[in-house]
Amino acid sequence: MPERRAERHHTGKAGWLRAAVLGANDGILSTASLVLGVAAAHGSRSSLLIAGVAGLVAGAMSMAAGEYVSVHSQADTEQADLKLERKELRTDDKGEHRELAAIYVGRGLEPALAKQVAEQLMAHDALGAHARDELGITETLRARPIQAALASAVSFSVGAAVPLSATAISPQASVIVFVSATSLVCLAGLGALAAQAGGASLVKGAIRVAFWGTLAMAVTAGAGALFGALL
């Protein structure tokens, strides 16, 4: 019998890919928009670079802090649910067997088979079985606040480095065009990459990200030009 190949699914990459793409997108878009807003207000090169660096640092710290708080709240909820589940396993073992068997019946197993599966899984790892099948908590998807915070900060910083580098090397007279073009190309590439990894259309993914990126940068540049004229 030929060896069965493991199937490769797109959903396995959804979590980390979403976080990485969102972080990089935010880094590119927020930093580029900030630089373009200052440039449209006729800021000097030094002011553009200062604004870009400040945006990179502030954005990375904000992403890290927000991700840490959010994921830590999820981790706290998971720990509270697991604590409750441990108590129920100690005080009502038979009821927990019935509860797990009922879950498997709801998924399509015959009652007798569901009971047998529940008994075997709980004999092997009762808490793990309930965490996975009742609470939806698995080791792969467990909340990791520090890891999430670091990943968000790094991905944001990498994205923000794109418009910041473009600002540093472009001629002063064409900084708006150069930063806009560079940022949009990178945003479209990220959109296509995310779409490919998720099994969606590359073109649609690229166009969707590029469209909203263009809108955000145009609005910010317009606001900069308006306030630059008023001040």
Query: And the tokens for 113?
Result: 């088979």
Total count of domains within the chain: 1
Given the structure tokens 């955000």, which residue do they identify?
216
Cβ pair 56, 164 in contact under 8 A: yes
Q: Say what the pLDDT of residue 12 is.
A: 44
Flag whether 13 is in a domain: no
Flag whether 74 is in a domain: yes
Given the structure tokens 């502030």, which residue do they identify?
58
Nearest to 137 by CA among 148, 125, 147: 125
Amino acid at 84: L
Q: Say what the pLDDT of residue 1 is.
A: 42
On whether the pTM is more than 0.95, the answer is no
Q: Say what the pLDDT of residue 142 is.
A: 62
Flag whether 68 is in a domain: yes
DSSP characters for 192-226? HHHHHHTTS-HHHHHHHHHHHHHHHHHHHHHHHHH
| Cα(52)–Cα(46) distance, integer angstroms | 10
Nearest to 131 by CA among 194, 88, 176: 88
Q: Say what the pLDDT of residue 197 is.
A: 66
Phi, psi at 121, each rounded to 5°:
-65, -40
Given the structure tokens 């779409």, which residue do they identify?
195
| Cα(93)–Cα(4) distance, integer angstroms | 38
Query: Per-residue pLDDT tens for 14-39?
Result: 445 666 777 888 899 999 999 999 99
Flag whether 7 is in a domain: no
Query: And the tokens for 33?
Result: 């928009």
Nearest to 156 by CA among 66, 60, 69, 35: 60
Flag whether 185 is in a domain: yes
Structural domain harbouring 153: 23-230
Given the structure tokens 């690229």, which residue do they identify?
206
Flag whether 145 is in a domain: yes
Residues of the chain with pLDDT under 50: 1-2, 4, 6-7, 9-15
Q: Say what the pLDDT of residue 9 is.
A: 45
Flag whether 174 is in a domain: yes
Phi, psi at 217, each rounded to 5°:
-70, -35
Q: How many CB atoms lie within 10 A of CB 20?
A: 22
